Structure formats: C-alpha cells, structure tokens
Amino acid sequence: MIRIAAVGDVHLGEDARGRLRPALEQLGERADVLLLAGDLTRHGTVSEARVVADEFGGLDVPVVAVLGNHDHHDDKPDEVTAVLRDAGLTVLEGQTTTISVDGHTLGVAGVKGFGGGFAGKCGSVFGEPEMKAFIRHTTEIADSLRGALGSLDTDVKVALTHYAPIPDTLRGEPPEIYPFLGSYLLGEAIDDNAPHLAVHGHAHFGVEQGMTPGGVRVRNVAQPIIRSAYTVYCVEPAVVEV
C-alpha cells in the first residue's frame, strides 16, 4: 500500500512561518509522499516562497508540488520554483517524478492546469484573440499532462493539478465561476491514461470527492475543504501474476 498525503491552497504569507511545520514533523509515520496542489503562496512573491520552502523543505518524505494561480500573481513563477527546488521540493509543470516505496514505484505527473469550463458549458477556440488564447493555454497544458501521464511506467500513477479536472468537486462554488476553476480537457487527459488517483486544489467551497467520466478517483485537497494540514489517501499497487 502506498500512502499519499496531499494538501493545496495553504496560501502562506511572510507572517505564516512555522504555522504548518509542527503538523508535518511526523509525516513519515503516516505517509510515503506529500503532494502540494498549488496556491502555496498568497501573492507569488519570492519572500513568500521562502516561507513555503521552510515549511515543507527537509521533511522525511519526498514532497512533490505544482504551482497555482496565486503562485503566478507576482509574475515570478520561475523564481518561486527555484526557491522551492533549492529546498528539495520537486516542482512539476508538464514533467513527472518517480518515487520508490517498499518495492513499488509511484509516478506523479503534474501541471498547474487552467480554466475553460466543462462539457456543455465551456469556452472554445473561437472569436476574439483573447478567448482563443485562453482556451489554447488550457489545451496546451492538458496536452502536456496527457503526455506526462502517458510516459509513466510505474506501479501507481497520480495526476497532480491545481485547477479542477471535473465539475463534481466544484459543487458548492457559484456555477458562474466554474470556467475559472477548471477544465474538462484536464479530465480527458486523465481518462486517456487512467491513473489511480487525481488530486487538485483551487476550489475552496467545493467538495472533496469526485470521479472522472472514465472512473478515476478525483480528490479536491484545498485546505479549506480538508480542514487539516494534509489528508492521506491509500493506493494499492496492482498485483501482477507471473
């Protein structure tokens, strides 16, 4: 069994140093990896990224993250990423990482994701250049997630995003903002590769549990939803008979 801890939307500012660390010190007794589903900072500043690095760096389990929209706000995502990587975090954007756990392998494919909406109520590459650019950005990110998941050859696969891949986990959010909370294109990329689990954040007023049309478990781990420093999901690697 692989134990996957996850949380998103911690929104750490410079006044939050030390807030989460006490709850993380014994993480290795409860989980094999920690996934961070974006919005790690409040405004995407480098100084806030250093707080995130202090909170999540040097833990006794691997930490894998994607950035969220807040982490882009100060237009320094590369600098934020560098600070986190210097602290030992793995930050993904269209890439993968593989972790060994008790003789099994866990593969994580991660992207920030983007908006656009969901089947029947979504944007399209039509009309003004701004709308075309909006949806093309989502399409490019979804394609990078598809490619990353497809490249994994591991016992367990997990998709890590900030934006939601399905509308199920958005229930409770105003329907008018669904197009800014996620995209069905992310869900299609996930279903094309059938990972064991998909984890996202971003929806503070949604619900925790949902499922893609193809049957993949989706979990919204935004901290306002899980109401704890992290939550843990257990995944059983498939047993191959020889």
Residues 108-121: pLDDT tens digits? 999 999 999 998 78
How high is the mean pLDDT of the chain?
96
Confidence of residue 96 (pLDDT cuts 50, 70, 90): very high
Confidence grade of residue 87 (pLDDT, cut at 50, 70, 90):
very high
| Each residue's pLDDT tens digit, 25-53 | 999 999 999 999 999 999 999 999 999 99
Q: Please state, in angstroms and rounded to a whole number, the distance separating the CA atoms of residues 100 and 1.
A: 12
pLDDT score of 120: 79
Answer for the pair 192, 202: CB distance below 8 angstroms, yes or no.
Answer: no
Query: Residue 125: its pLDDT value, please?
Result: 86
Q: pLDDT at position 240, please?
A: 45
Assigned token pair, 206 = 């949604």
- Percentage of residues in the chain with pLDDT exceeding 90? 93
Predicted pLDDT of residue 242: 39
Q: Which residue segments constitute the domains of the chain, with CATH numbers given?
A: 2-235 (3.60.21.10)
The pLDDT value given to residue 123: 87
| Collapsed DSSP state (helix, strand, coil) of residue 198 | strand
* Band of pLDDT at residue 126, cut at 50, 70 and 90: confident
pLDDT per position as a tens digit, 130-156: 899 999 999 999 999 999 999 999 999
Residue among 232, 229, 220 at smallest CA distance from 161: 220
- What does the alpha-carbon distance between residue 81 and residue 67 come to, in Å, rounded to a whole number? 8
pLDDT digits (tens, 9 = 90+) for 176-217: 999 999 999 999 999 999 999 999 999 999 999 999 999 999
189-193 contacts at long range (C-beta below 8 A, 24 or more positions apart): 189/142, 189/143, 189/145, 189/146, 189/149, 189/159, 189/165, 190/145, 190/149, 190/159, 190/165, 190/214, 190/216, 190/218, 191/216, 192/146, 192/149, 192/150, 193/146, 193/149, 193/150, 193/152, 193/157, 193/159
SS3 content of the chain, % helix, strand, coil (to 5): 35, 30, 40
Task: Give 18's contacts (C-beta < 8 A, 6+ positions apart).
Answer: 54, 55
Dihedral, CA of residue 1, residue 163, residue 80 and residue 94, to nearest 10: 70
Q: What is the pLDDT of residue 241?
A: 44
